[in-house]
């Protein structure tokens, strides 16, 4: 797959065809076997690394002129550092297995670099020149083919956002996870939007309802009239939308009951985004037995005079802490009230989803979690965020 990508980008293809050891991995361009001189006047070989800017998996103009280097600091042939490219101190930042950024260099032409061939060859020339003056046989053009060994990705195209931000190693914490989202209403659909853009292996969707006109006004994106007229099940609509960016989405056009509860066994995390107290009670009881961590969301909004007030809640349950659940999540069965309203506002749904997803990312070690709260509430009219139930 990556050799095919190199062929579609003329600048990468030219680098490879001229003999550079070109590798594309996790949204980065890596040029191996770059000769350089260290402070002891020894000839060594390092790697040039640059995040790729892509559109439809074809390179576009590089984001910036900075390049990273794996190796000791390159020096002149007398052992003094090459000051013309000096940019930052030693970083030793791990990108992914086997690739570490030790230094970053800066050499900006007046108009920047128009492509990656110009960028990488310019740095290769500056860094390699002292080594070639000491040993005329050394070269970066070995014509060695780098075997594609990148793990299969769940995405349909490369996640260049992670490489631009140098957070690929952090994103790898989501790999191997199997997530379920129960309820694809306003909050659940936004949770899907955020989770789908992480490299979790699988996302299971549960909801028996159809995607109707009112849903279009509290869900991510914009829905055409033609789609609404199809009256698709919510899970099928959202699975089709997010299959455009990734694989591994499995829709279940059904509610979670005792008959299918076993589908949740062995999952990494479950987001519960439903209103029914009876259904929540059943699901949470089984998840506790299964040893599966869950995050439950709640949104209560009411009209007072001519304003809306309300509270958003996120409650987490794990094998380490469960004693707070009965105090935070109501399990009493409430009879249907035909005069009751269920006010849902897209921005509140999105905020509630963000609270849940950020908590999930804390549990995964993506975000630092100093408080380790297991219940959070946000009150709209006072902008008060309260964290409780600490482990």
Grouping H, G, I as helix, E, B as strand and the rest as coil, residue 58 is: strand
Cα–Cα separations (whole angstroms), residue 12 to 5, 52, 267: 9, 11, 40
Q: In the prediction, which pLDDT does 339 show?
A: 40
Q: In the prediction, which pLDDT does 41 show?
A: 97
Torsions phi, psi for 205 (to 5 deg): -115, 130
Domains for the chain: give ranges and CATH numbers. Answer: 2-155 (no CATH), 176-390 (3.40.50.720)
Q: In the prediction, which pLDDT does 163 show?
A: 84
Residues 6+ apart with CB under 8 A from 362: 368, 369, 372
Reading the chain (391 residues) residue by residue, the pLDDT tens digits are 466 778 889 999 999 999 999 999 889 999 999 999 999 999 999 999 999 999 988 999 999 999 999 999 999 999 999 999 998 778 889 998 889 999 999 999 999 999 999 999 999 999 999 999 999 999 999 999 777 655 568 999 888 888 888 888 899 999 999 999 999 999 999 999 999 999 999 999 999 999 999 999 999 999 999 999 999 999 999 999 999 999 999 999 999 999 999 999 999 999 999 999 999 999 999 999 999 999 999 999 999 999 999 999 999 999 999 999 999 997 765 544 444 457 899 999 999 999 999 999 999 999 999 999 999 999 999 999 999 999 8
And the tokens for 194? 């955020």
- The conformational region for residue 175 under phi > 0 = left, psi -120 to 50 = alpha, else beta, is beta
Q: What predicted TM-score, i.e. pTM, was given to this entire model?
A: 0.84
For 144, which DSSP code? P
> Crossing angle of helices 10-17/116-134, nearest 10°?
20
The answer to whether 39 and 46 are in contact (CB under 8 A) is no
215-224's contacts with Cβ under 8 Å and 24+ in sequence apart are 215/185, 215/186, 215/189, 217/346, 218/185, 218/186, 218/189, 218/344, 218/345, 218/346, 218/349, 219/186, 219/189, 219/190, 219/346, 220/189, 220/190, 220/192, 220/193, 220/350
CA gap 361, 389 in Å, rounded: 18
CA gap 295, 360 in Å, rounded: 8
């Amino acid at each position: 797959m990556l050799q095919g990508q190199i062929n579609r980008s003329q600048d990468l293809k030219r680098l490879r065809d001229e003999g550079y050891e070109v590798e594309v991995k996790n949204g980065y361009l890596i040029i191996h076997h770059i000769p350089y001189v260290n402070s002891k006047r020894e000839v060594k070989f390092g790697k040039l690394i640059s995040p790729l800017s892509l559109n439809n998996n074809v390179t576009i103009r590089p984001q910036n002129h900075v390049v990273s280097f794996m190796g000791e600091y390159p020096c002149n042939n007398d052992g003094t550092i090459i000051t013309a490219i000096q940019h930052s101190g030693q970083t030793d930042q791990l990108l992914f297995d086997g690739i570490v950024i030790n230094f970053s260099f800066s050499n900006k032409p007046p108009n920047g670099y128009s492509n990656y061939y110009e960028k990488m060859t310019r740095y290769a020339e500056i860094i390699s020149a002292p080594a070639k003056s000491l040993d005329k046989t050394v070269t970066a053009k070995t014509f060695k083919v780098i075997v594609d060994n990148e793990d299969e990705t769940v995405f349909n195209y490369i996640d260049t956002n992670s490489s631009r931000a140098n957070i690929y190693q952090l994103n790898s914490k989501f790999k191997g996870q199997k997530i379920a989202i129960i309820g694809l209403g306003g909050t659940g659909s936004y949770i899907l939007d955020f989770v789908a853009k992480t490299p979790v292996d699988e996302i299971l969707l549960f909801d028996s309802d159809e995607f109707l006109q009112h849903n279009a006004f509290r869900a991510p994106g914009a829905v055409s009239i033609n789609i609404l007229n199809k009256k698709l099940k919510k899970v099928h609509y959202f699975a089709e939308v997010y299959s455009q960016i990734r694989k591994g989405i499995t829709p279940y056009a059904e509610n979670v009951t005792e008959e299918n509860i076993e589908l949740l066994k062995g999952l990494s995390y479950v987001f519960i985004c439903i209103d029914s107290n009876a259904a929540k009670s059943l699901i949470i009881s089984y998840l506790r037995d299964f040893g599966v961590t869950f995050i439950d969301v709640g949104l209560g909004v009411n009209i007072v005079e001519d304003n809306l007030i309300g509270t958003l809640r996120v409650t987490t349950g794990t094998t380490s802490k469960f004693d707070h659940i009965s105090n935070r999540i109501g399990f009493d069965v409430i009879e249907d009230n035909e005069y009751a309203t269920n006010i849902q506002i897209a921005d509140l749904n999105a905020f509630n989803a963000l609270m849940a997803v950020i908590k999930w990312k804390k549990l995964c070690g993506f975000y630092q979690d100093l408080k380790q709260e297991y219940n959070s509430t946000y009150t709209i009219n006072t902008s008060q965020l309260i964290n409780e139930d600490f482990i």
